[in-house]
Amino acid sequence: MKMPKKGIITVISGFSGAGKGTVINELVKKYGYAVSISATTRQPREGEKEGKDYFFKTKEEFIQMVNNGKFIEYAKYVDNYYGTPKDYVYSQINNGKDVLLEIEMQGAMQVKENFPGVSLVFITPPDIKELKRRLLKRGTETEEVIKKRIARASEECGYMEKYDYIIVNDGLEECVEQVHALIQSLHFTSNNQKELIEGISSNFNLK
């Protein structure tokens, strides 16, 4: 009996306003990717549902989860904590689902350090004027929050080169296809082919 193929984890980051949320939604709808659900200490926005959009936690609850090793990564971003609980992600990949982690730069760097086989994808708009335009266009945030975001994006520039892949979102459909083709190719990384390598190696010297 053949075991179901194990899914892989891919980190998706990008400037706030680069449209990565929309890209991820399309990947889920069109190709059946699973998306990790984050825990956060920030207040729910209108319409956000506990256990669907986020697991909403108090700061104290969040820190207890950190101490109990319940996160793949966690980070502080604009005064709030965000983290990726392990359990959901692991159950998905064990069922053969490819999982997307939509996380910020700090968290992505933690993943890079702790899970070197996981690939990091950074989504950027085609140019910086477009990025600023998108950042400023959002109507739901205060000016202070927007300013913090722009400062943050500026800082993130320095981290782009630490990502494994950079994809330009210059059109939703093309970007979705590029990310999908990339992730399917990531099944072939030697890290994700370990069982195959071991199988061949262990059989090679037998008659």
| Binding region for a second copy (CB under 8 A) | 121-122, 124, 127-129, 153-154, 157-158, 160-168, 178, 181-182, 184-185, 188-190, 193-194, 196-197, 199-201, 203-205
Of residues 70 and 132, the one with the C-beta less far from a second copy: 132
Instruction: Classify burial at 71, counting beta carbons within 10 Å of its beta carbon; exposed 0-12, middle 13-18, buried 19 or more.
Output: buried
Residue 122's closest CA among 166, 164, 156? 166
Of residues 91 and 184, the one with the C-beta less far from a second copy: 184
Backbone phi and psi for residue 75, each to the nearest 5 degrees, phi listed first = -155, 155
Of residues 90 and 165, the one with the C-beta less far from a second copy: 165
Residue 57's CB: how many other CB atoms inside 10 A? 19
Structure tokens given for 153: 């994006």
Taking the complex as a whole, the smallest distance from the CB of residue 31 to a second copy amounts, in Å, to 14
Taking the complex as a whole, the smallest distance from the CB of residue 36 to a second copy amounts, in Å, to 22
Taking the complex as a whole, the smallest distance from the CB of residue 128 to a second copy amounts, in Å, to 4
- E runs forming strands in 37-136: 38-40, 54-56, 71-77, 80-85, 99-102, 119-124
Of residues 37 and 168, the one with the C-beta less far from a second copy: 168
Of residues 81 and 104, the one with the C-beta less far from a second copy: 104
Q: Taking the CA of residue 198 as centre, how many other CA atoms within 13 Å lie in the half-sphere pointing to its CB?
A: 5
Taking the complex as a whole, the smallest distance from the CB of residue 6 to a second copy amounts, in Å, to 15
Taking the complex as a whole, the smallest distance from the CB of residue 119 to a second copy amounts, in Å, to 10
